[in-house]
């Protein structure tokens, strides 16, 4: 069958039109024009290049933006004609093309053009938009890159870009903020890499605004978030030819960008495909990281209003500026220094060292002080292995909860005033030798220990003689004085491998059932404190007024006599201020009863999950409780005579004494590990769903990392006042899932109980959430130890890793796990006593 000539002409015309459109996919060639209404797309469709007008602007720019992701406004990553915009009135006639010299140019239709590239070549060239966001001009014959947009960044740093200097080609890669959200012309903030000090700076005009600190081989000291993680990898290259910073993503399908913001902040974003929004991963600097924000001789505190405060002995240079929160002029001395040995030094505690100090070797702090005293230009000194002297004005002093200390030089006339006005500042006009202070403090302690040792030795000998022919004897609970009798019994506590007697009562007092029944008014319901999975708990009252808690094992608890004895004996050996103390027990007829110290403030869940009661737990109390729980677990894992895995850490098992001190309770399902034992396996999974680690729930594996997981859940509950197992959000998220969602979206602070908004420390709160998410990571090997946890909670300087997504993020995942045929012994009650398994 033959086509007519007319049909053939139509097909040729259509095919020619198709060919004309094809060039616009990702490449511009010589002789082709890209008009205002046309764009080119990268091969994968991620980036788009063309003309755009930001916001309500009347100007046109050529730029690159994300195409594949859709947000309410275009996310531009590169602009070429920032300083040479084209008026919208010429939008119908302007275009982008490659001229006869092979260079990219923008023409506005009036005969005016702006050259984007300036290469010299006799060959044909073409420009291609890559899926990396890089726009490259190539020699079409050799395919050599002649020019690329990555060498001329705007305000955005993309994976694969370089930031620094190329000495061979006299090229500098910097970021410069937009002037405003609708004006991409260069703003006042820019980033510069200082090759001499291997640090990068944010500049405000020509003034230093922030410094990253030096590169230490892994991160810049002031940017801990650059630490290697599972999201991106940062590389710093420095040699005789180039010095630059670059990064790439471990997951190439992830979308990330860093932006030099108009506010002077460098912000790192990640695209969340599920929620279709940009999540702020981190930003810097914090207010107190801004270079010389508070000027000279003042401290900065992010959580203080105002942020800046003059050092003692100093006053604002300009009170008027200070009142308007312009602290840049800093502070000046109230009284001039006299030098000649008349000046004194005052201790400034918990700070980050000021910048620009000189260091030299010194044997001790006294030598360091002497070096500063004899130099009238020396304003302060600090001894930290080496002697640090500040010969210039003190800039950049940041107040921390736990930091370094230095000695500030003040005029003698200011000394008395500072001393009377300060409770936290210690004067050091005649500091005593450190060794002498330690010796003076140690002598009384050594004397007391010596006397106590002799007393314990003789008491032990007497007790051993008495026990040689003694049978187990039941005591009267009502008349027992725990405060005095238990002190003497503490001397008998010894290592389990060095028992002095085969009789288990050598460690714990027995009480008769009649006296227990009398103390509880015959187990009256009014004295019942709660009902656990293994029996009720009662309050008992002794004749001296002391109150105790009694756990009465029910006949159906499944715990035998030997198991009960084993549990009681071992728990009695655990002595720590953050563990509930076991005082005694009773085994008579069919009754098995444990006697504990009484906690008047009940358990943590009584306050935490009740909107009315939670008001009692202010920010400071919660921090105190968190630190107490952490110390208690650390003792069990590392510092007790036995390595103990609790296995049932939850809010209802954290009791509170009269001073709201946290006490870990309920060791019924705890496991004792040997010195070298790190992990165990069980076919009988017991505990509480929502607090159990995934490897324990699914495979029966437990270790110290199982308790770390439970602590992470508990930490999130304390911060949010929400229960993990019963927490529901718009997408049926658990508390773990909700915390993870907020954290990845840069909204971690929203997890905090709104009742605490007026009092909580946001930097500490975010740090605690970070620690909690590290604790609840799915893989046990990724979780920190409790030793690491306590260090991270207490030390603000410690760099924290980025957490990985936790398991059990949705309610359905917990329901699936809880329906598995494991053991059926999960703990769901507020008070639980279950079987301890032997080694």
Query: What is the band of 342 on the pLDDT scale with cuts at 50, 70, 90?
Result: confident
* Length of the chain (residues): 839
Higher-scoring residue by pLDDT: 176, 216: 176
The pLDDT-based confidence of 348 (bands split at 50, 70, 90) is very high
Across residues 476-488, what is the average pLDDT? 57
Sequence ranges of the chain with CATH classification 3.50.4.10? 289-429
pLDDT the model gives residue 481: 61
Hey, what CATH topology would domain 289-429 get?
Hepatocyte Growth Factor (3.50.4)
Q: Which of 154-158, 429-433, 472-476, 834-838 has the lowest mean pLDDT?
A: 834-838
Asked if 246 contacts 257 with a C-beta cutoff of 8 angstroms, the reply is no
State the CB neighbour count (10 A cutoff) for residue 102.
23
pLDDT digits 0-9 by tens, 50-91: 999 998 888 999 999 999 776 567 899 999 999 999 988 777
State the pLDDT at residue 244.
92
* φ, ψ for residue 755, nearest 5 deg: -65, -20
pLDDT digits (tens, 9 = 90+) for 292-303: 899 999 999 887
Check residue 78 and give its pLDDT: 97
Q: What was the pLDDT predicted at 705?
A: 92
For 518, the token pair is 């009398």
Whether 176 and 188 have beta carbons less than 8 Å apart is answered as no
Position 110 confidence tier, pLDDT thresholds 50, 70, 90: confident
Q: For helices 619-634 and 786-794, what crossing angle results, to 10°?
A: 150
pLDDT number for residue 574 = 81
Compute the average pLDDT of residues 488-505.
38
**In terms of Cα–Cα distance, which of 257, 237, 233 is closest to 245?**
237
Mean pLDDT, range 308-333, rounded to an integer? 90
Which residue would you say has higher pLDDT here, 230 or 651?
A: 651
Q: Per-residue pLDDT averaged across 740-758, rounded?
A: 86
Least confident range from 39-53, 109-123, 339-353, 501-515: namely: 501-515
Q: Which residue has the tokens 């081989």?
A: 217
> Angle CA(618)–CA(624)–CA(625) in degrees, nearest 5?
90
Whether residue 174 has pLDDT greater than 90: yes
pLDDT recorded at residue 701: 83
Q: Report which of residues 159 and 304 the model is more confident about.
A: 159
Alpha-carbon span 699 to 779, nearest angstrom: 13
The answer to whether the CB of 96 falls within 8 A of the CB of 33 is: yes
Whole-model pTM?
Answer: 0.51
Q: What is the mean pLDDT of residues 39-58?
A: 92
Q: What is the per-residue burial (b if ≥16 Cβ within 10 Å, else e) of 706-735?
A: bbbbbbbbbbbbbbbbbbbbebeeeeebbb
Residue 429 confidence class, pLDDT cut points 50, 70, 90:
very low
Answer whether residue 401 shows pLDDT above 90: no
pLDDT of residue 550 exceeding 70, the answer is yes
Which tokens belong to 256?
């990330």
Fold classified for 604-826 = Transferase(Phosphotransferase); domain 1 (1.10.510)
Q: Which CATH class is domain 465-597?
A: alpha beta
The residues near 195 (Cβ < 8 Å, ≥ 6 apart) are 164, 165, 238, 243
**pLDDT surpassing 80 at residue 507:** no
Share of the chain residues as helix, strand and coil, in percent rounded to the nearest 5: 30, 30, 45
pLDDT band at 224 (very low <50, low <70, confident <90, very high): low
Which residues face 63 on adjacent strands?
50, 79
Q: Does the pLDDT value for residue 20 go beyond 70?
A: no
| Confidence grade of residue 566 (pLDDT, cut at 50, 70, 90) | low
> What are the Cα distances from residue 491, in Å, to 86, 104, 594?
88, 87, 21
Q: Among the residues of 130-248, which ranges form H helices?
A: none
CATH code of the domain made up of 24-152: 2.90.10.10
Structure tokens that stand for 169 in this block: 């080609």
Torsion angle in degrees (nearest 10) through CA of 302, 305, 309, 315: 160
Question: Each residue of 692-704: pLDDT tens digit?
Answer: 888 887 778 888 9
pLDDT, residue 321, reads 87
Residue 837: pLDDT over 90: no
Percent of the chain predicted with pLDDT > 70? 76
pLDDT band at 474 (very low <50, low <70, confident <90, very high): low
Alpha carbon distance 76, 51 (integer Å) = 11
- DSSP labels, 107-139: E-SSS-EEES-----SS-EEEEE-TTS-EEEEE
Residue 839 has pLDDT above 60, yes or no: no
Closest by Cα among 580, 556, 477, 572 to 520: 477
Q: In the prediction, which pLDDT does 273 show?
A: 73
Of 517, 498, 507, which Cα lies nearest the Cα of 472?
Answer: 507
Can you tell me which residue has the tokens 């200082």?
194
* Residue 23's pLDDT band (cuts 50, 70, 90): very low
| H helix count then E strand count, the chain | 16, 50
Nearest-angstrom CA–CA distance, 803 and 774 = 5
> Of 326 and 568, which is predicted with more confidence?
326
Provide CATH 2.90.10.10 ranges for the chain.
Answer: 24-152, 153-285
Question: What was the pLDDT predicted at 831?
Answer: 32
pLDDT at 838 over 80: no
| pLDDT value of residue 127 | 95
- Name the pLDDT band for 233 (thresholds 50, 70, 90): confident
Residues with catalytic function = 648
User: Would you state the pLDDT for residue 437?
Assistant: 43
Structure tokens given for 605: 């869940």
* Sequence ranges of the chain with CATH classification 3.30.200.20: 465-597
Supply the mean pLDDT for the chain: 79
Whether 732 shows a pLDDT value over 80: the answer reads: no
| pLDDT category of residue 104 using cuts at 50, 70 and 90 | very high
What region does 684 belong to: left with phi over 0, alpha with psi -120 to 50, or beta?
A: beta
Q: Is 50 exceeded by the pLDDT of residue 341?
A: yes
* Residue 569, phi then psi, degrees to nearest 5: -65, -45
- What is the CATH code for 153-285? 2.90.10.10
How many C-beta atoms lie closer than 10 Å to residue 758's C-beta? Answer: 8
Q: For residue range 596-636, list pLDDT tens digits in order.
A: 889 999 899 989 988 888 889 999 999 999 999 999 999 99
């Amino acid at each position: 069958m033959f086509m007519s000539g007319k049909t053939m002409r139509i097909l040729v015309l259509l095919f020619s039109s198709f060919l004309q459109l094809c060039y616009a996919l990702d490449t511009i060639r010589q002789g082709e024009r890209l008009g205002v209404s046309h764009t080119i797309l990268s091969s994968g469709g991620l980036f788009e290049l063309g003309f755009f007008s930001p916001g309500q602007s009347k100007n046109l720019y050529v730029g690159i933006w994300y195409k594949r992701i859709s947000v309410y406004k275009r996310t531009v990553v590169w602009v070429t004609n920032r300083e040479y915009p084209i008026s919208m009135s010429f939008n119908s006639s302007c275009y982008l093309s490659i001229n006869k010299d092979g260079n990219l140019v923008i023409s506005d239709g009036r005969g005016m053009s702006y050259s984007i590239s300036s290469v010299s070549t006799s060959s044909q060239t073409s420009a291609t938009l890559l899926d990396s966001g890089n726009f490259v001009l190539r020699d079409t014959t050799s395919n050599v890159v002649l020019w690329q947009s990555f060498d001329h960044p705007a305000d955005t740093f993309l994976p694969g870009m370089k930031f620094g200097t190329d000495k061979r080609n006299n090229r500098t890669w910097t970021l410069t903020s937009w002037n405003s959200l609708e004006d991409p012309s260069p703003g006042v903030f820019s980033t510069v890499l200082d090759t001499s000090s291997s640090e990068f700076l944010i500049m405000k005009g020509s003034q230093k605004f922030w410094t990253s600190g030096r590169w230490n081989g892994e991160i810049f000291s002031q940017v801990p978030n650059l630490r290697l993680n599972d999201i991106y990898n940062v590389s710093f290259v420095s040699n005789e030819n180039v010095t630059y910073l670059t990064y790439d993503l471990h997951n190439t399908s992830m979308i990330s960008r860093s932006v030099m913001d108009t506010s002077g902040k460098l912000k790192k974003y990640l695209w969340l495909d599920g929620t279709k929004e940009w999540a702020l991963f981190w930003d810097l600097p914090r207010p107190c990281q801004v270079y010389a924000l508070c000027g000279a001789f003042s401290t900065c505190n992010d959580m203080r209003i105002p942020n800046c405060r003059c050092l003692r002995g100093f006053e604002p240079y300009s009170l008027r500026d200070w009142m308007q929160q312009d602290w840049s002029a800093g502070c000046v001395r109230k009284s001039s220094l006299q030098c000649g040995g008349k000046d004194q030094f005052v201790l400034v505690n918990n700070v980050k060292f000021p910048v620009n100090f000189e260091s030299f070797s010194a044997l001790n702090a006294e030598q360091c002080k002497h070096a500063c005293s004899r130099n009238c230009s020396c304003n302060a000194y600090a001894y930290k292995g080496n002697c640090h002297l500040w010969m210039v004005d003190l800039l950049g002093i940041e107040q921390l909860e736990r930091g370094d200390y230095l000695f500030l030089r003040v005029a003698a006339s200011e000394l008395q005033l500072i001393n009377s006005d300060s409770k936290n500042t210690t004067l050091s006009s005649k500091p005593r030798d450190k060794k002498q202070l330690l010796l003076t403090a140690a002598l009384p302690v050594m004397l007391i220990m010596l006397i106590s040792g002799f007393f314990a030795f003789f008491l032990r000998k007497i007790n051993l003689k008495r026990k040689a022919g003694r049978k187990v004897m039941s005591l009267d609970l009502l008349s027992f004085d725990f405060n005095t009798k238990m002190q003497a019994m503490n001397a008998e506590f010894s290592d389990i491998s060095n028992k002095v007697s085969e009789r288990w009562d050598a460690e714990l007092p027995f009480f008769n059932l009649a006296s227990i029944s009398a103390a509880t008014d015959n187990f009256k319901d009014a004295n019942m404190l709660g009902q656990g999975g293994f029996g009720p708990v009662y309050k008992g009252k002794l004749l001296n007024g002391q109150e105790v808690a009694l756990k009465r094992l029910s006949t159906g608890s499944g715990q035998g006599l030997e198991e009960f004895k084993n549990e009681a004996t071992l728990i009695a050996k655990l002595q720590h201020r953050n563990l509930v103390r076991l005082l005694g027990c009773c085994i008579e007829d069919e009754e098995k009863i444990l006697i504990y110290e009484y906690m008047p403030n009940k358990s943590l869940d009584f306050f935490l999950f009740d909107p009315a009661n939670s008001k009692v737990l202010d920010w400071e109390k919660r921090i105190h409780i968190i630190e107490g729980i952490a110390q208690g677990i650390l003792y069990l894992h590392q510092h007790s005579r036995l390595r103990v895995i609790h296995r049932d850490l939850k809010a209802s098992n954290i009791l509170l004494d009269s001073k709201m001190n946290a006490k870990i309770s309920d060791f019924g399902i705890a496991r004792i590990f040997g010195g070298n034992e790190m992990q165990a396996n069980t076919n009988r999974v017991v505990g509480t769903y929502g607090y159990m680690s995934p490897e324990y729930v699914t495979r029966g594996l437990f270790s110290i990392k199982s308790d770390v997981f439970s602590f992470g859940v508990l930490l999130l509950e304390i911060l949010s006042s929400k229960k993990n197992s019963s927490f529901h959000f718009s997408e049926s998220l658990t508390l773990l899932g909700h915390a993870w969602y907020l954290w990845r979206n840069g909204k971690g602070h929203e997890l905090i109980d709104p009742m605490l908004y007026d009092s909580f420390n946001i930097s500490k709160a975010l740090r605690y959430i970070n620690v909690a998410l590290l604790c609840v990571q799915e893989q046990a090997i990724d979780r920190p130890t409790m030793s690491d946890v306590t260090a991270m909670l207490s030390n603000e300087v410690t760099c924290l890793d980025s957490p990985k997504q936790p398991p059990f993020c949705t309610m359905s995942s917990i329901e699936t796990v809880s329906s598995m045929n494991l053991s059926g012994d999960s703990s769901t009650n507020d008070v639980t006593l279950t079987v301890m398994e032997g080694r």
